[in-house]
Amino acid sequence: MSAVNRNLFANYVGQGWTALINLAIIPVYIALLGMESYGLVGIFAIVQTCFAALDAGMTPTLNREMARYAAGSHTAQSITDLVRSIEVLCGVLLLALICFGLLSADWIARHGIGTNSLPHGTVANALRLIAVVAALRMAEGIYRGAILGLQRQVWLNASTAGLATLRAAGAVAILKWVEPSVGAFFAWQAIVSLLAVVVFARTTHQALPRAKARFSLPALSGVKGFAGGIVGTSLLALALSQFDKLLLARLLPLESFARYSLAATVANSLYQLVNPVAQAYYPRLTELATLEDRSGLASSYHTGAQLLAVAVLPAAMLLIVMGEPILKLWTADSTLSTSTAPLLALLAAGCLFNGVMHMPYMLQLAHGWSSFAFRTNLISAVIYVPALLLATRHHGAIGAASCWLALNLLVVLISVPFMHRRLLPLEMGRWYTQDLLLPLACVAVTVVSLGRIGLTGMTESLQAAYLVTIGAMAMAVCVLASSRLRHGMALRLRRLVQRP
């Protein structure tokens, strides 16, 4: 098994388990905490995303430089100096963010969050803990980037799956048998995140060559162009992906915001299907770009793009077409499912188009071209933010979700042609037709056709089995519609038949 395939398999097993745990536990959290307290968990998701975007490009930079080190582009001293320098910057940034969170929690609790029954002090204390947990998760992410760049993805996914299980199981145990409060929930998350930082930091340093590490401004200067583009892109991506939630958290009661947060959580789970492919192929694309192997680069790019399509299109289409029965099976609450399903359909469609853009983005980063995504996000933000304000004012949560879909569809239609003028200029048509449109059309026809049969009269077990069957058939159709994957499967079958 090749390194890419091994990493891809490990990513799906590890991140699949993590996603399953995180989704399965949400109804339990809602039952133990209540809908209003769960709204604070939605606030935590926003803060965590904000902190991750503020890491000054350190995570993707370290990922790329570790991959370049593995390809022979770094000396032992240069890579250890770079890691230590990034650690120092990260430490300073984390302390600043934690202090800001601790000092601003009381004001945000009073003026930024609408609550009905939660005491002000409870909300403020939860916000303080949220700042600590989000900062620790940011440190986790930086070390994850280093480990991913070294292609130690099997170990990383095993550790991530174990930590996710510990986070969820421990939180449920504390809420049931110690204290059913949102403060206890976030305190446990902080403990597990601290453990994760220690484990990931130790693993990163064990993989580095033996050289005396030191803080080095020249080491940081060498990556400032790439990192600068990344941080600009990340900050704008933060505005694009989180501004709707920040706006709705301010305008809607916490319980109503919790419904939007629930739909966003389910839609964002699609990234658990996207990220394994992107993480497995990014180091390989970086290596091929460094070696200037254009033929191998184009081949890996299209294979990765078609794998992304197989991973995300069937699941996204199920959420779009069959969102209400899926939510009802998951939450066992028909009222909540009915009110959340339209939001889920729009958000999932937006995440679908955002997800398929990951392989073009990985191609840009593999070439060190981080400024293109920055300019794309800057133009998008100039259009998206005013549109979101108007849509939210007149149409509420539905307007916000519609803007998310429109934004990502426009990015797919407009940005890819500009990117391919510079990178792999002969491959744009193949990306649109073979990697996206044909698989998307086949999956849409399959899910819509089978979904029209309806689930009326079925037991819950039969409904779940039927939904899984639709998803499996849509995935099979998507594989058959993907030329490179279909050809690869045919070769493997031919070898099996010819094997003595």
**Tens digits of per-residue pLDDT, 259-317?**
888 888 889 888 888 888 887 788 788 888 888 888 888 888 999 999 999 999 999 99
Residue 157: pLDDT above 90?
no
Question: Residue 274: what pLDDT?
Answer: 87
Mean pLDDT, the chain, whole residue set:
81
Mean pLDDT along residues 91-98: 84
> What gap in Å lies between CA 275 and CA 311, rounded to an integer?
10
- Among 7-16, 257-266, 374-383, the least confident range: 7-16
> What gap in Å lies between CA 473 and CA 490, rounded to an integer?
18
- Among 9-23, 196-210, 398-412, 474-488, the least confident range: 9-23
Question: Residue 55: what pLDDT?
Answer: 59
Residue 112: pLDDT above 80?
no
What are the b/e assignments for 237-276, b being 16+ CB within 10 Å?
Answer: bbbbbbbbbebbbeebebbbbbbbbbbbbbbbbbbbbbbb
| 336 vs 445, more confident | 445
Question: Residue 290: what pLDDT?
Answer: 80
The percentage of the chain sitting over the pLDDT mark of 90, rounded to a whole number, equals 18
Q: Residue 228: which pLDDT band, with cuts at 50, 70 and 90?
A: low
Question: How many alpha carbons fall within 13 Å on the CB side of residue 34?
Answer: 11
Question: Residue 44: what pLDDT?
Answer: 78
Residue 349: pLDDT above 90?
yes
Mean pLDDT along residues 206-215: 72
Mean pLDDT along residues 24-49: 76
Residue 390: pLDDT above 80?
yes
Most confident option among 40-54, 142-156, 211-225: 142-156
Residue 227: pLDDT above 60?
no
> What gap in Å lies between CA 40 and CA 255, rounded to an integer?
10
Write down the residue that tokens 């992906």 correspond to. 241
> What gap in Å lies between CA 104 and CA 33, rounded to an integer?
24
Mean pLDDT along residues 51-66: 67
Question: Residue 161: what pLDDT?
Answer: 87
Cβ pair 29, 199 in contact under 8 A: no
Question: Residue 217: what pLDDT?
Answer: 67
The percentage of the chain sitting over the pLDDT mark of 70, rounded to a whole number, equals 82
**Residue 183 CB coordination number (10 Å):** 17
| CA dihedral for 312, 315, 321, 326, sign (positive or negative) | negative
| 361 vs 224, more confident | 361
Residue 489: pLDDT above 80?
no
| 150 vs 355, more confident | 355
> What gap in Å lies between CA 375 and CA 276, rounded to an integer?
26
Question: Residue 116: what pLDDT?
Answer: 62
Mean pLDDT along residues 409-432: 91
